[in-house]
Amino acid sequence: MNGGERNSANSSGSRSDRADGSVTVEAQALLPMIWADPQHMPEQLAFFAVRRFGPRAATAVARRRERKPQAGADELGHDAIASGTRTTIVEGAALGGPFIVLMPVSFVAALLSQATMVLELAAVAGHDPCSERRVADILVLQDVYPSTEAAGRALTEVSRHPTGGHGHLPRRTRWSLIVRMAAVLGLTGGEKPSRLRRALSTAVISALFLVGMVLPLIWVPALAVLYRQSTLGLGDKAVQYYSPGATGDRLRHRRPFTRLPRVAGVAVILRFLALTLLPFLAAAGIVLAGVRLIGGFWGTALIALVVLSLLLGGLWFLHRRSHGTGRRQRHVL
């Protein structure tokens, strides 16, 4: 089922110079390919992940083995899932919160982070994370296809480098893509959930979307919780896929395994709960100071809350963007 060739120390070393890079920057580079080939969104994402993040996965596992020469596959897998969960929460949730219109970038960043975790678990199990066979593995683990054979047959019809994608997509097509991204992420029960489960999950995502249009920062703690749950589930699934014999041991050690990613999730939630309180406190200060706009007391409070939330979200977005640009420039230098 797993397939794949074994890692080569020389090949992973030669690829290490391309192993680093910002997930959010790469997500923005991938989006035009998805817009150009929307019906093959999961396939384009898996191809891109193996091309860009396969070398990073090989390097990350090699470095962990250097730091922990006595560590076995279980400990290295634990570290890969903990790191992948933290990265998914930080990159995906932090980007999606400030402006809800950035939801596609948030989802793609989270999907790339999860795919990188799968590639690291493949490397831990002895498979080459840079091989195109990992593309089929990722798609099977995301429940896009029932088997690697089915995925392999479908991938023969998919372009590796679709062109275009910079034009305007119909609104309905874009929304359908966002819903499918959420499904592949496991936020709506996976690619093939029951009708009731998908309807309920989609209703929750839609409600958060509507609230997020007014209070953008509310998405950050919501996405942090959702990403943590789905990434841990994907990590357990990948371990069982690549190392079937490790299933029993993984279940025995589930409690300590889930603790580390929870710390990252709690940190993100606490940070943004503090930021979310600022608009409420500022709006309360404005109305208590006697300032009145349209609609009297409650109208003024609502207007102040929305404006301040959008302002704070915009400042946070600019901070994240400048931080990512600075990090990218340092990498080039």
Pick from 69-78, 79-88, 119-128, 167-176 the range whose average pLDDT is largest. 119-128
Sign of CA dihedral 117, 118, 123, 126: positive
What pLDDT, on the 0 to 100 scale, is given for residue 243? 85
Residue ranges covered by each domain of the chain: 9-332
Per-residue pLDDT tens for 126-185? 999 999 999 999 999 999 999 999 999 999 999 888 876 565 667 777 778 888 888 888
CA-to-CA dists, residue 200 to 81, 185, 196, 231, 233, angstroms? 28, 16, 6, 20, 20
Yes or no: say if 248 and 208 are a contact pair by the CB < 8 Å rule. no
How many Cβ atoms are within 10 Å of 85's Cβ, its own excluded?
A: 28
Residue 320: name the closest of 271, 277, 281, 266 by CA.
271
Residue 234: name the closest of 23, 93, 55, 88 by CA.
88
Which tokens hold the place of 9? 């120390």
Percent of the chain with pLDDT over 70: 63
Query: Is the whole-model pTM more than 0.75?
Result: no
Yes or no: say if 313 and 99 are a contact pair by the CB < 8 Å rule. yes
Task: Indicate the pLDDT class of residue 29, thresholds 50, 70 and 90.
Answer: confident
Percent of the chain with pLDDT over 90: 31
What pLDDT, on the 0 to 100 scale, is given for residue 288? 79
CA-to-CA dists, residue 24 to 28, 39, 190, 275, angstroms? 6, 22, 23, 21
33/317 Cα distance (integer angstroms): 24
Task: Indicate the pLDDT class of residue 291, thresholds 50, 70 and 90.
Answer: confident
What's phi and psi for 6, nearest 5 deg?
-80, 155
How many Cβ atoms are within 10 Å of 66's Cβ, its own excluded?
A: 8
Per-residue pLDDT tens for 298-314? 777 777 777 776 676 66
295/180 Cα distance (integer angstroms): 40
Yes or no: say if 47 and 160 are a contact pair by the CB < 8 Å rule. yes
Task: Indicate the pLDDT class of residue 194, thresholds 50, 70 and 90.
Answer: low
Yes or no: say if 5 and 131 are a contact pair by the CB < 8 Å rule. yes
Yes or no: say if 267 and 285 are a contact pair by the CB < 8 Å rule. no
What's phi and psi for 22, nearest 5 deg?
-80, 130
Mean predicted lDDT score pLDDT of the chain: 75
